[in-house]
Structure 1
Amino acid sequence: MYRRTFLELMAGTFALCVLPGCAGRAGQAGGSSLGVGHAEGPLDAAAYRAERRYLETRFGRIAYLERGTGDAALFLHGFPLNSFQWRGSIERLSPFRRCVAPDFMGLGYTEVAQGQSYAPAEQVAMLVTLLDRLSISTVDLVANDSGGAIAQLFLAHHPDRVRTVLLTNCDVETECPPAAVLPVIEMARKGTYVDQWLAPWLADKVLARSDQGIGGMTYTRPAELSDETIEYYFAPLVRSQRGRDQVHAYTLALEANSLAGIGPALAKSTVPTRILWGTGDTIFSQSSADHLDKAFGNSRGVRRIPGARLFFPEEYPDLIAEEARALWGVR
């Protein structure tokens, strides 16, 4: 998922500039003075590229998308995806929230600063900087997969900045990382993960959708995984050395249990938390849903999605929007 594409979104006489130095809300790099948050319409790959913004920080040049106004919702994507994962949910929820979806350091179109750590705790610090620069004080968290681990860390360390949490299949303290990810970590250590998995999927979209590809591993309906989606996810990771190095660094940062000892912080949390769990997931254990339900001090229970696999939030945006609006108390 990598390599930035420099695009400008032309709307009448206004141009949305994504290059450094362009004025935007809260001083972010990229974005027009009108604000991309007001954009409407389908978020296909072309629209997502056009609306993508960048923020220069000490962590690097952070890529993110923003739509909507009012209270903010922060969408945290899975591995090895990027914020494009949440496009359908953002389309449906931007009338009710200011939706912000960043690409984590090491994934997507974010360009990481030299020497910067990719550890989950540093991802949290990056998110805090992003929110501060966008003048966002509190958020509703929506997360999937490794983004769910980062959401838990964000809540544990910044409980006053979180209104609600909506978690889907993700790491838990007793399964972080899951056993299925260990071979991927080992490939990243050898520098072969991109060449063995991601590059072949990008080159052969049919393979990507097959049982040997990301489709068969993590999607409920892999045949519906479009060529443009595969391209958007994997091109920036495969087609430059910087992208390859960054995704390997992100993968290696998953090795340590970033959630070790988080139990007491989650237990004392009063933040309303809802858990959606796909029962077809072969990456995370089904028992992890019950673990999360018991772990949070204010859990609103678990909803199991029959047969749904790890990346079901991308496939079922109506379900995500339904549950988010119920949790947020908006109709």
Structure 2
Amino acid sequence: MIRSDATFDGTFPFAPRFTHAPGFQMHYADEGPRGGEVVLCLHGEPTWGYLFRHLIPVLSQTHRVVVPDHMGFGKSQTPADRSYWLQDHLDNLEAFVVALDLTNISLVLHDFGGPVGMGLAARHPDRIRRIISANGPTPFGQKDLLDRLTANALVSPWFQWIARAEASGELEPVLGQLGFNILSTLKLNGFEDNTVITDAWLSAYGTPFARPADCLGAIGWARGFAISAHRFETPDATADRAIRGKPALAIWGEADRTLLAEHFLPLFSAIFPAAPVKRLAGVGHYCLEDAPETIAGLIAEFIRQT
């Protein structure tokens, strides 16, 4: 866990806030007017709220931007007695949202934040205003979800490595040293703009994983796929109907080597057939690192228009 006051040379200057609502110390940033519509940004593997550091100042001028760190990531606690499957993170997020009484939420979803956020939408459709996928899958009860996950895993270097590493017993030892191999892990998943790599940037992404005991979150999300432990939330008919009527936007870096557009954009379009899809050439999986200004502009304009 990172020190609560760490700003990484001022690149993450947002006041740290904490809640114990999910049963552990969960960190979040909360910027912008309290009376404004909420933008809830959800990160994935193996990042934290730092991923949204360029988006927060843009959107917080007019909206309340809330950015939690999932259990085992960023400045949040990594309890040793908890499991780290998808459904656990969804339970945590639900407790967080209810405790803060967040409503009128525009979800911004990246990577694993996609299924966590869509799970929240399935449980609380009345709290959701918009859905924004930024290289974030949007599973929502689609019948072909398993087929798409399987097809993607056959060609994704990250998912291929997960399968081999779990079978050979290497997954936990390797990801248990994530603080030392964070750059190779991020590059394997796919980001393209090497100019962002500074000492502060490496420290921001590596410090949360200083010891094997700090890596349970990253291990859990990877292992959950290898052993099929993750459970995707399925909406009931009322939630399905409600969410399909929400404004939605997909932004996808086409150089994503982990979640290929051909397998995951159809999941989005199956729910939101009339929604705009912005495909960004040369932008990788960590699209908010590769093209932060472009993505901030697209999201701000989409929120303004809707």
TM-score of the aligned structures, taking structure 2 as reference length: 0.81
Of 220-229 and 61-70, deviating more is 220-229
Is residue 159 from structure 1 mapped to residue 119 from structure 2 by the alignment?
Answer: no
Is residue 220 from structure 1 mapped to residue 192 from structure 2 by the alignment?
Answer: yes
1:81-114 Cα distance to aligned partner (Å, 9 max, x none): 1110000001111101111111111222211445
For structure 2, list consecutive stretches of 5 or more residues without a partner in the other structure. 140-144
Q: Which residue of 2 aligns with 1:28?
A: none
Alignment of 1:143-158 (within 5 A): 143-158=109-124
Amino acid at match of 1:56: H
Is residue 324 from structure 1 mapped to residue 288 from structure 2 by the alignment?
Answer: no
1:36-75 Cα distance to aligned partner (Å, 9 max, x none): xxxxxxx865463662222123431101111111111100
1:289-319 Cα distance to aligned partner (Å, 9 max, x none): 5413432146412111012110012332222
Q: Which residue of 2 aligns with 1:57?
A: 21
Is residue 272 from structure 1 mapped to residue 247 from structure 2 by the alignment?
Answer: yes
How many Å separate the matches in 1 of 2:293 and 2:112?
A: 22
Shift in alpha-carbon separation, 1:290–1:91, aligned structure 2, 3 A: same
Amino acid at match of 1:7: D
Structure with higher RCO (Cα < 8 A, 6+ apart): 2
Aligned-residue offset at 1:7: 3.1
Amino acid at match of 2:298: E
Shift in alpha-carbon separation, 1:299–1:103, aligned structure 2, 3 A: farther
Of 48, 51, 65, the match for 1:99: 65
Structure with higher strand content? 1
Amino acid at match of 1:192: P
Amino acid at match of 1:52: P
Of 228, 232, 235, the match for 2:204: 232
Tell me, what secondary structure is at the counterpart of 1:329? helix
How many Å separate the matches in 2 of 1:187 and 1:61?
A: 31
TM-score of the aligned structures, taking structure 1 as reference length: 0.75
How many Å separate the matches in 2 of 1:259 and 1:164?
A: 20
Tell me, what secondary structure is at the counterpart of 1:328? helix
Q: Which residue of 2 aligns with 1:23?
A: none
Tell me, what secondary structure is at the counterpart of 1:124? helix
For structure 1, list consecutive stretches of 5 or more residues without a partner in the other structure. 9-42, 203-207
Aligned length: 285
How many Å separate the matches in 2 of 1:115 and 1:49?
A: 31
Q: Which residue of 1 aligns with 2:173?
A: 192
Amino acid at match of 2:93: L
1:2-32 Cα distance to aligned partner (Å, 9 max, x none): x231439xxxxxxxxxxxxxxxxxxxxxxxx
**Where in structure 1 do 4 or more consecutive aligned residues deviate above 4 Å?**
260-268
